[in-house]
Amino acid sequence: MHEKKGMGLTEPSHLTVHPAAVASIIIPTYDRPDDLRECLANLTQQTPPVPVEIVIADNHPESGQTAAVVAAFPGVVLVEETRAGISYARNAAILAATGRLLIAIDDDVIPPPGFIDCVLAQFDDPEVDVVTGNVIPFKLETDAEKLFEKYNPLGRGHDPVKFDAAWFRSFHLRSVPAHKVSVAIDG
């Protein structure tokens, strides 16, 4: 292992670089080996028309759980990120990625057949810069899950949503309500 200076990240010295990768699928994870295994099994069964790499960012490498899963999937790149937090892990995967396009998913995503093809096909339109998947709840049991479903600004169903200037101008109509709170301190 070697460390990238100033980043706090380490990479395996056997890092497989895919110089022809058109897209990099980046997946941060923290000790969820069963979820990650299912995610990788679904991704590696797909046959996209262009070279794609998968980069896993392990946010708790000390446990060894992620490395054991990744070892079962040849060609998957493993990056270690010891700073706690999904953003650090995702950014570590982005830094290691070699693809021109980034596909960011979570380790508990179960990509259906054709997922990679569907995402890549959106970029055939030169006006497209960003593609996001629909977030569909697995269950609606907790208050947080219910609130997310109620206020999720990313549309409903399977119809595409175009995030143009009009969408951003009206964003406040769909977002979680926020209120200014003033606090007076007696002094």
185 domain-assigned = no
pTM: 0.71
- Of residues 39 and 184, which shows the higher confidence score? 39
On whether residue 181 sits in a domain, the answer given is no
Dump pLDDT digits (tens) for 147-174: 877 877 665 666 666 666 776 677 666 5
**Number of domains composing the chain:** 2
Same domain, 103 and 172: no
Residue-wise pLDDT tens digits, 79-124: 999 999 999 999 999 999 999 999 999 999 999 999 999 999 888 8
CB 39 within 8 A of CB 105: yes
Strands 9-11 and 2-4: antiparallel
State the alpha helices, DSSP H only, in the chain. Answer: 33-44, 65-70, 86-96, 115-122, 143-151, 165-169
Which CATH number does the domain housing residue 66 bear?
A: 3.90.550.10
Instruction: Identify the band that residue 6 occupies on the pLDDT scale cut at 50, 70 and 90.
Output: very low
Encoding tokens for residue 34?
């069963």
Phi, psi of 135 (to 5 degrees): -95, 110
Identify the band that residue 68 occupies on the pLDDT scale cut at 50, 70 and 90. Answer: very high
Say whether both 36 and 110 belong to one domain: yes
Mean pLDDT, the chain, integer: 80
Shared domain for 106 and 157, answered yes or no, is no
Segments forming the whole domain that contains residue 80: 2-124
